[in-house]
Amino acid sequence: MTTTFMDYILNPFYLTYDFASGLDYFTNGEINYAYFILNLILSIIISFLGCVYNEFLILFCFGLERDTYNQITKRSFTEQELFTLNNIMEPDEEDII
């Protein structure tokens, strides 16, 4: 998945290079600006969403951060500390006897 992401993140640069060098986006001998802009916007959106999916960017809205590696790690340490505190505060029956 990360290899594919690295290919897609370069697409906006490739599109811009092809447009600037005049190698692409011709229709009947004229440059088709609408086609270039549409391709550029879609490739930027795909690159952005690839960053979110691969957790290079973490969005802290609508609960999108909940299942990221960073948040899962924080929750595990918090739950582990709570478990340790509960064992200290409430000893088992075996400890009392």
7 and 35 Cβ atoms separated by less than 8 Å: no
Nearest C-alpha neighbor of 36 from the set 54, 19, 14? 19
Counting beta carbons within 10 angstroms of the beta carbon of residue 36, is it exposed (0 to 12), middle (13 to 18) or buried (19 or more)? middle
Question: Tell me, what's the pLDDT at 88?
Answer: 62
Question: Tell me, what's the pLDDT at 41?
Answer: 96
Range with the largest mean pLDDT of 9-13, 24-28, 51-55, 72-76: 9-13
Specify the pTM: 0.65
Tens-digit pLDDT profile for residues 18-67: 888 887 777 787 888 888 899 999 999 999 988 888 877 788 888 777 77
